[in-house]
């Protein structure tokens, strides 16, 4: 069963929350973060993307960047911008985007659960990205990035959260520059805190990583390193990591699309011809083609959109084989374009659905890329099925929106 515990969150003063809040470190470039933080000394990008405060040619993985993150975090604490709660608390985090809301529980989840598979994964991680987060955690002595978890709905948990939010005033409530509403409540009643912990222990057999595989893996590796140096108390903060846990019924997954730099030696006409062995191919002109169902794809090539429908025999019915990301990987990316490992091949890039199909057109029309593929989103049930089966999805299969903001709640480990 799922082991969670409350913690003494490091949080901004209420009047500074909107200025502190920052998008996750891995959804924007250093240049974008620098622009977003311009003129705002309170921005958490000074911690999560600290390269913005160093020379532009700095290696973002250099020790100087991690040291700067630690320096900036200490400065925000010293200035009173961020204050640690005096007692362990849970937190409730509600996001509203385009009229759709989702409300999660911010908690410290057990590294032991992660190691034991009670916190289930659906993606492989990359060692270089793990090392980046490991170095950031060790330098700052903090988990600054949230791991987004999901679980099958438990009515008792949902009811408890609903009651608390109805009866208590939020600590923070603001609308960010992208029109996403963020509301946070602090759960500081010992009886309620204990009941939340108990409900997860008896009602939640497992949780699933929706977003944040590298943050979770790095927390586990840091804990392992600390444990190797000597015995750790069972409740040591490093034995847990920062998570926000959402009921599955409230979640929606967006498409995660692909762009490829070249056609692996094929001409556009030849590539179209080869596609017809595995897909029904229809030219639809200049209007972007968004897939309307599983096993349908949009493709942008040579200034025109095409509608692809996978033929029977190009996929299986097992949890991995039925995925559109698998169909595209096996029958196009590998078979025709020679992309064997999407995690390491520099010829492919991934575009989150929040950027829209116009971003695919832009990347191809600029000459940077030659072909783009738009996919139908994975469902939350497909994600659960794959994680339950012990399998992993192809890289970059899911894009969740809205994104949790960094800086609103930080988990200190030292």
What is the rounded average pLDDT of the residues 329-342? 94
Res. 267: pLDDT tops 80 = yes
pLDDT given at position 317: 83
Beta bridge partners of 203: none
Could you give the CA distance from residue 179 to residue 16 in angstroms, rounded to a whole number? 18
Could you give the CA distance from residue 344 to residue 126 in angstroms, rounded to a whole number? 9
CB atoms within 10 A of CB 219: 29
- How confident is the model over 12-60, as pLDDT tens digits? 999 999 999 999 998 888 999 999 999 999 999 999 999 999 998 899 9
pLDDT given at position 281: 96
270 phi-psi bin (left φ>0, alpha ψ -120 to 50, beta other): alpha
Side-chain-side CA neighbours of residue 91 (13 Å): 27
List all residues 6 or more positions away from 327 whose beta carbon is below 8 Å from its beta carbon.
295, 310, 314, 315
What is the rounded average pLDDT of the residues 129-157? 95
Residue scoring higher pLDDT (71 or 341): 71
Res. 62: pLDDT tops 90 = yes
For the domain bounded by 256-376, which CATH number is listed?
Answer: 3.30.1760
pLDDT given at position 322: 87
- How confident is the model over 144-163, as pLDDT tens digits? 999 999 999 999 999 999 99
Cβ–Cβ under 8 Å, residues 183 and 404 = no
Could you give the CA distance from residue 303 to residue 281 in angstroms, rounded to a whole number? 16
- What are the sequence ranges of the domains in the chain? 4-253+401-412, 256-376
Give the confidence band of 397 by pLDDT, cuts at 50, 70, 90: confident
pLDDT given at position 283: 95
- How confident is the model over 237-256, as pLDDT tens digits? 999 999 999 999 999 888 99
- How confident is the model over 85-114, as pLDDT tens digits? 999 999 999 999 999 999 999 999 999 999
Res. 2: pLDDT tops 90 = yes
Give the confidence band of 232 by pLDDT, cuts at 50, 70, 90: confident
Res. 321: pLDDT tops 90 = no
Q: Which two tokens stand for residue 8?
A: 């003494």
- How confident is the model over 349-392, as pLDDT tens digits? 999 888 889 999 999 999 999 999 999 998 898 889 889 988 88
What is the rounded average pLDDT of the residues 264-272? 96
Could you give the CA distance from residue 6 to residue 330 in angstroms, rounded to a whole number? 44
pLDDT given at position 142: 97
Q: Report cis status (omega within 30 of 0) of the bond before 402.
A: yes
Give the confidence band of 234 by pLDDT, cuts at 50, 70, 90: confident
């Amino acid at each position: 069963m799922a082991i969670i515990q409350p913690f003494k969150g490091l949080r901004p003063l209420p009047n500074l929350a909107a200025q502190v809040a920052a998008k996750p470190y891995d959804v924007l470039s250093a240049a974008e973060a620098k622009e977003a933080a311009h003129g705002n000394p309170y921005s958490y990008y000074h911690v999560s993307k600290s390269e913005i405060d160093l020379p532009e040619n700095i290696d973002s993985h250099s020790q100087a960047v991690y040291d700067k993150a630690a320096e900036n975090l200490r400065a925000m604490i010293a200035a009173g911008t961020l204050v640690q709660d005096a007692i362990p608390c849970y937190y409730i985090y509600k996001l509203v985007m385009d009229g759709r809301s989702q409300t999660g529980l911010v908690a410290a989840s057990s590294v032991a659960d992660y190691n034991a598979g009670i916190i289930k994964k659906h993606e492989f991680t990359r060692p270089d990205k793990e090392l980046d987060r490991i170095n950031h955690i060790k330098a700052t002595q903090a988990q600054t990035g949230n791991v987004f978890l999901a679980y099958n709905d438990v009515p008792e948990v949902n009811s408890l959260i609903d009651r608390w939010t109805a009866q208590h005033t939020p600590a923070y409530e603001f609308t960010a520059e992208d029109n996403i509403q963020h509301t946070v409540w602090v759960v500081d009643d010992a009886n309620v805190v204990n009941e939340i912990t108990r409900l997860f222990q008896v009602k939640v057999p497992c949780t699933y990583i929706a977003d944040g595989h590298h943050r979770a893996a790095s927390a586990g590796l840091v804990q392992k390193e600390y444990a190797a140096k000597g015995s750790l108390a069972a409740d040591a903060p490093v034995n847990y990591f920062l998570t926000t846990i959402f009921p599955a019924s409230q979640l929606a997954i967006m498409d995660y699309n692909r762009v490829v730099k070249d056609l692996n030696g094929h001409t556009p006409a030849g590539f179209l011809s080869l596609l017809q062995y595995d897909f029904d191919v229809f030219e639809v002109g200049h209007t972007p083609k968004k897939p309307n169902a599983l096993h349908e794809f949009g493709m942008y090539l040579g200034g025109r959109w095409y509608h692809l429908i996978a033929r029977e025999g190009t996929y299986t019915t097992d949890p991995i084989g039925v995925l559109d990301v698998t169909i595209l990987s096996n029958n196009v990316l590998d078979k025709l374009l020679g992309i064997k490992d999407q995690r390491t091949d520099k010829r492919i890039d991934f575009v989150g659905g929040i950027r829209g199909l116009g971003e695919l057109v832009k990347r191809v029309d600029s000459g940077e890329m030659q072909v783009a593929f738009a996919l139908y989103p994975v469902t939350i049930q497909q994600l659960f099925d794959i994680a339950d089966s012990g399998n992993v999805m192809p890289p970059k299969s899911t894009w969740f929106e809205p994104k949790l903001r960094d800086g609103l709640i930080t988990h200190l480990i030292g």
